[in-house]
Amino acid sequence: MFAWYMGLNLAQAMIMVEVYSHFGFNSGPSYRIYWATQVIVMIVQTLASTEILHRALEDYPGIWELVWRVILFAIIAIIGYAWATANSKDGWGLWAVHRGYYFTFAVAFVLCLLVVRHYSISIDPVYKVLLGGFCLYSCGVIVADTLVKSLFLQNFSRYSDVWNGFELLLFFAVLLVWVVALRHPVRVSASSQPSQATGGAYESVSPQVNASLREMNDTLRKFFGKQAA
Amino acid sequence: MTLMLFSGLAVLLLTALIWALRAPSRSSRGNFDLNALEQPNRRHATYLSLVRHAASSDDLAFLSKRGYAKLQSRLHRERRKVVLLYLDQLRCDFEQLTRTARAIAALSPSVGVRQEFQRAQLSFEFLARYYAIRLAFGWGFVPIAQLSQLSQVVSQLSIQMETSMKEFGERAAMAARTASSPLDGNDAGVV
């Protein structure tokens, strides 16, 4: 899916070069074609990053269960926000949705990564860089989308150049980091024997923890019993 | 204004991202520290009755009545130290338990969202009480009732953990049974 995302980004860039040279940057068709292709890129970005996170958490199905719920909630929030804002009268509806998407994306994936950290799960550095790149790019887009409206409202004539340049620079920076990260092989998952590993860890840990907890509980129960008496 | 707001949010998200992607410290990496579970000094909640006694004002009142003012103030100071030490160790107990709970959840094939939320709520409750008690100590109070409540939170968590470990064990046993079955399609029963 990540390869699809990269391919689609490239294809979108090539299509837009043709469209802009044919119709011009500020024309209606350019605007419609850009947003139509952008929606596809955004959907594929979500799928690609979800797939990366799934791969990273392959050995932790319980945590993946928690994490996909966060992503699902984010998707519902994006759809709801898009529904409410896309038809706004001031002509900035699509920009608001675009920014809303990247904002929700960044919040959802940063939350997922925080959940992963909370459970002290060590994920492969390659996955970390890929997910971090997506989040970094999303944060940049949030700023760029806000900046473009601000510049337009201040009657700055080259607002579109600033927006284009900022996003392009950011994308190339993220791309560079991804290229460097993908030169290293991804660690092989230990999920080939999941049940044995899980059962083994449980069997060794559980009796010790249980004994400690039971002792703690018994003492507290005795104390509270005495207090009640 | 909007630019400032969204830039601030982006910076906040980036900070959280950097923190989340930071490599976990050696002590908090996914593996269990089995030796820590066997440490004899980890069940500090068991000393609650002694600490309750140490924090009671009866002995101090007795010394005051007898006219040992210096001894009374020294005893008061020493006992405060003991209670604060107990409080810190109780927090260590709690952190140890939550660490183990997180490790078990990470290894578990299925994690209950409600259970995890409950645990987070319990942790928040514990920390709020912990800091409230420390603050009260700073102002010269000895909130023994709150101290008992704090110990109860640790106890609650241990009960919750025991339940999740039981479920976890049942699932692991079921998985082991399925894996060792001759009818599991892994050619185990074929000669």
Q: Look at A75-89, A94-108, B140-154, B172-186 and tell me which has the smallest mean pLDDT.
A: B172-186
Q: What's the CA gap between B120 and A216, in Å, rounded? A: 21
Residue B157 in tokens: 């968590």
CA B164 to chain centre: 16
Instruction: Tell me the CA distances in angstroms from A229 to A6, A179, B134, B150, one per residue in order.
Output: 71, 70, 29, 21
Q: What's the CA gap between A117 and B29, in Å, rounded? A: 9
Cβ(B104)–Cβ(B161) under 8 Å? yes
Residue A10 has pLDDT above 70, yes or no: yes
Residue A109 in tokens: 């994936």
Q: What's the CA gap between A177 and A172, in Å, rounded? A: 9
Q: Look at A28-32, A86-90, A177-181, B106-110 and tell me which has the smallest mean pLDDT.
A: A86-90
Q: Which residues of B touch A60 (CB under 8 A)?
A: 106-107
Q: Look at A9-13, A109-113, A153-157, B144-148 and tell me which has the smallest mean pLDDT.
A: B144-148
In the structure, what pLDDT confidence band is assigned to residue B187 with cuts at 50, 70 and 90? very low
- Give a three-class secondary structure readout of A166-197: HHHHHHHHHHHHHHHHCCCCCCCCCCCCHHHH
List all residues 6 or more positions away from B153 whose beta carbon is below 8 Å from its beta carbon: B94, B122, B125, B126, B129
Angle at CA of residue B16, ends B12 and B22, nearest 5°: 145
Inspect the interface and report whether the beta carbons of B43 and A99 lie closer than 8 Å.
no
Q: Which residues of B touch A133 (CB under 8 A)?
A: none
Q: What's the CA gap between B76 and B61, in Å, rounded? A: 11
Does A31 or A150 have the greater pLDDT score?
A: A31
Q: What is the average pLDDT across A79-95?
A: 73
Q: Which residues of B touch A147 (CB under 8 A)?
A: 3
pLDDT at res. A150: 75
Inspect the interface and report whether the beta carbons of B20 and A139 lie closer than 8 Å.
no
Residue B75 has pLDDT above 80, yes or no: no
Inspect the interface and report whether the beta carbons of B108 and A198 lie closer than 8 Å.
yes
Instruction: Tell me the CA distances in angstroms from B37 to A169, A209, B89, B153, one per residue in order.
Output: 51, 7, 15, 19
In the structure, what pLDDT confidence band is assigned to residue A229 with cuts at 50, 70 and 90? very low
CA B61 to chain centre: 35
**Predicted complex ipTM:** 0.71
Residue A42 has pLDDT above 60, yes or no: yes
Q: What's the CA gap between A23 and A85, in Å, rounded? A: 27
Residue A167 has pLDDT above 60, yes or no: yes
> Domain segments of chain A: what residues?
2-182+205-228
Does A197 or A32 have the greater pLDDT score?
A: A32
pLDDT at res. A44: 92
Cβ(A19)–Cβ(A30) under 8 Å? yes
Inspect the interface and report whether the beta carbons of A219 and B105 lie closer than 8 Å.
no
Q: What's the CA gap between B72 and B53, in Å, rounded? A: 15
pLDDT at res. B73: 78
Residue B6 in tokens: 């969204």
| Residue B140, helix vs strand vs coil | coil
- Tell me if the pTM is above 0.90: no
Inspect the interface and report whether the beta carbons of B19 and A214 lie closer than 8 Å.
no
Q: What's the CA gap between B168 and B111, in Å, rounded? A: 9
Residue A9 has pLDDT above 50, yes or no: yes
Residue A135 has pLDDT above 80, yes or no: yes
Angle at CA of residue B142, ends B137 and B145, nearest 5°: 120
Cβ(A85)–Cβ(A93) under 8 Å? yes
Which residue does chain A place closest to B163, by CA atoms? Answer: A210
Q: Look at A93-102, A114-123, B135-144 and tell me which has the smallest mean pLDDT.
A: B135-144
Residue A118 has pLDDT above 50, yes or no: yes
